[in-house]
Structure formats: C-alpha cells, structure tokens
Amino acid sequence: MNKRRTRVQLSSKTILAMIINSVLPGFDSVIIRFLVCFVSLFAVTSARGQVAIMYSQYMNNMLNINPAYTGNRAGDNVTALYRKQWVNIEGAPTSFSLSWDRGTDDVGDGLHQQAKPVSFGVQLYSDRLGVEISQGFQSFYSYRIKLQRSYIAFGLSAGVMNYQGLYSKVGTYQGSDPRFQTDIKGFFPTAGVGVLYANMNWYVGLSAPALLKTKIENDVNKITAADGRYFLTAGYIFTASDYMKIKPSILLRQVQGESLSYNLNVNAWFLGTVGAGISYRPKDALVGMVQVQVAPQVSIGYAYDYLISSLGMLSAGSHELMIRYEFNRPRSQYVVSPRYY
C-alpha cells in the first residue's frame, strides 16, 4: 500500500484547523472523510523521517525494496520513476527517483568466461508530503553466488537522507502553537540488507531496507528515522505461448506497529516488447499499468491507481511514469528473465 509513515505530534484541534484552512469553502461531510484520512497520516507520536517510497511499478526497479536486486538485468541500467499521488488533494505526496546499477555478470577472455559476482549502483530520490521534504542518496552493492541453474544474491545499501519539516509554513488557527513556529531539518544515515534467490522461471526475495534508528530534534519536535520494515517479494514466469509470457507476483510488507499488507500483481508480455498488468492493494487501490519497449535499449511505463479507499471521493487517483535506459549489455550473458523483473 502506498501509505506514508510520516507522523507529527498534533492535537486534534490543530489537525482540524489545518484541514479547514486548506479546503474552505466546502466544509461538509466530505471534509469529515478527509479528516479521517488525514489523521491516519498524522498520528499522535513523534515524526518518522525516513520514508519508504513505494511505487506501483516497483517491479520495474526493485532497488527501492531489496538491494540484492542490484545488477539483476546485467550491463548498465538507468531507471527514472515519477509518482504524483492523490491528484486533486493539496499537499499530496509527490515522489521521484533516479537510479543506476551495473551488473558485471559475464566478463572473460572469450574462451574461459569468468563471472564477476559483484554488482553495484546508486540512487537519488526526493519525496514531498505537504510541508515535509525528504531527499537523499543511496548506494547499493550485491554479491551473487551462481548455482547450477540459478543464483543467490546478497545485497547491502547505505546512504544519507536530508529531512526538512517546514512546519512554520502551516497556517493554523492556533498561532501560538510552538510546533508550527519552528522548522526542523537534519540528515539521517540509512542502511539496508536483502537476499534474493532466482532461476529462469521464478524468484523470491527478502529484505529489510531500513535498519537504522536515528533521530533529530529541537525543543518542540522530534524526527525519528523509520525502522522495522520488512519486504518479501516473489514471482513466477509462465510461458503462455511463443508470443506471450505471464508473470504473477506478490509483495508482502510488514511495518513495525502495523498489520501485514500486500500487493497482488499480474503482468503479461507480448512479443517481449509490450507489457500490460493489473495490481491490487486491499482497501487502497486497483492499478492498471502498461510498458512498451520503444527501442532495444529504452522502455517506458505508465501506471494509474484507481482509489478504492475513502480518498477516492476526494482524489482523481494517482499517476506514475517510468523510463528505463540500458546499455553496455554483454554479448554473452547469464541473465534471469531480464525483461520481467
């Protein structure tokens, strides 16, 4: 589910004042629904700084979830993702990431191929939710052990995130509330681990992308880096015909203090160049997505989230765009289903 874990300690009166201030005129039953959704984002606890940007097209860039996927496609892979969430809701999340990773799977003298098991990558990202901005840099490393017809990979990630809570820009009816008179800014170190097992037809991965628990604080606000998040991903690739492959997949996510959530996905590829799929997030959204290989090295994807939650009354859904460019692919490569995950 594409829910944020950013939380700020607010009183119920302050929350209501912020909502009325941002949506007037039109204070009616719809605003009450908006209040419920808003409170789910802003619980009465200290703030969580390290966001986990979740994309509907996460399967097109698994680095966001599991560093063990680094270099999975071989060669150089540059992927950009942009997400505009909850259209028509002021202050709704907007996310962007740009990543590059390199797989060094098949390097040798032409006669005695020697696989280099190391892959690496980097990512820049930005996420904005209302007056809160998170921007950062993440590096990735994976070590792959090649088995007879499969492989197992272990991944590490490390980086730094800059958090800005511009609370002084929030207009409230309680002008003396100290929580909204002082901004809070700072840097968080980030780190994660993951493991991936894959063969030509299926894969399964387990990861903990946010291991560190750090904080920044001032006299009135405290921001704590998110931890306690675990992901399990799995998928199977069926050959339906000479022209079509189908890949059902699942993502399970466990966040400390929250119930288990999951995404169910089915994607189909036609002639290896055009893909289409659907995704279901319970009590959140139905997602439709398409992807086209517009050139041997370039693919473009788009996803639309149709909201089935109460936010659907206020928002026209969410839009997401993906662009990938691949180059320096080895002539003779061992890649597990390179276009399907």
Instruction: Evaluate whether residue 334 is within a structural domain.
Output: no
Provide the whole-model pTM: 0.78
pLDDT at 77 exceeding the cut of 50: yes
Instruction: Evaluate whether residue 283 is within a structural domain.
Output: yes
- Tell me the β-bridge partners of 118: 143
Q: Which of 4-8, 125-129, 176-180, 319-323 has the lowest mean pLDDT?
A: 4-8
CATH number at 285 reads 2.40.160.40
How many helices (H) and strands (E) are present in the chain, helices listed first? 2, 20
Instruction: Evaluate whether residue 185 is within a structural domain.
Output: yes
* Mean pLDDT, rounded, of the chain: 78
User: Dihedral of the CA atoms 275, 149, 140, 190 (nearest 10)?
Assistant: 90
Instruction: Evaluate whether residue 332 is within a structural domain.
Output: no
pLDDT score for 152: 93
3-state SS, residue 40: helix
Rounded average pLDDT over 50-65: 80
Rounded average pLDDT over 100-110: 61
pLDDT at 223 exceeding the cut of 60: yes
Between the alpha carbon of residue 163 and those of residues 135, 227, 236, 260, the distances in Å are 7, 15, 38, 27
C-alpha angle with apex 208: 206 to 213, nearest 5 degrees?
Answer: 170
Number of domains in the chain: 1
DSSP state, 109? Answer: S
The token pair at 230 is 């675990």
Q: What percent of the chain shows pLDDT beyond 70? A: 71
Instruction: Evaluate whether residue 1 is within a structural domain.
Output: no
- Contacts for 175 with CB less than 8 Å, ≥ 6 apart: none
Q: Give the torsion sign (CA, 210, 336, 289, 102).
A: positive
Which pLDDT tens digit goes with each residue over 183-217?
A: 888 888 899 999 999 988 899 999 998 888 777 76
Which pLDDT tens digit goes with each residue over 286-334?
A: 999 999 999 988 999 999 999 998 888 888 899 999 999 998 876 544 4
Instruction: Evaluate whether residue 4 is within a structural domain.
Output: no
Query: Strand 222-224 to strand 229-236: parallel, antiparallel, or no bridges (unpaired)?
Result: unpaired
Which pLDDT tens digit goes with each residue over 232-291?
A: 999 999 999 989 999 999 999 988 777 888 999 999 999 888 999 999 999 899 999 999
Higher-scoring residue by pLDDT: 164, 21? 164
Q: How crowded is residue 219: how many other Cβ atoms within 10 Å of its Cβ?
A: 8
Q: Could you give the CA distance from residue 58 to residue 65 in angstroms, rounded to a whole number?
A: 8
Q: Which of 69-83, 167-181, 286-300 has the lowest mean pLDDT?
A: 167-181
Instruction: Evaluate whether residue 335 is within a structural domain.
Output: no
Crossing angle of helices 12-23 and 29-41, in 10° steps, is 130
Which pLDDT tens digit goes with each residue over 22-50?
A: 444 444 444 444 343 333 333 333 444 44
pLDDT score for 60: 86
pLDDT score for 166: 82
The token pair at 225 is 């880096």
Cα 77–chain centre separation: 17
pLDDT at 124 exceeding the cut of 90: yes
Which stretch of DSSP H or E encloses residue 292?
strand 285-295
Q: What domain range is 63 assigned to?
A: 12-327
Instruction: Evaluate whether residue 274 is within a structural domain.
Output: yes
pLDDT score for 338: 45
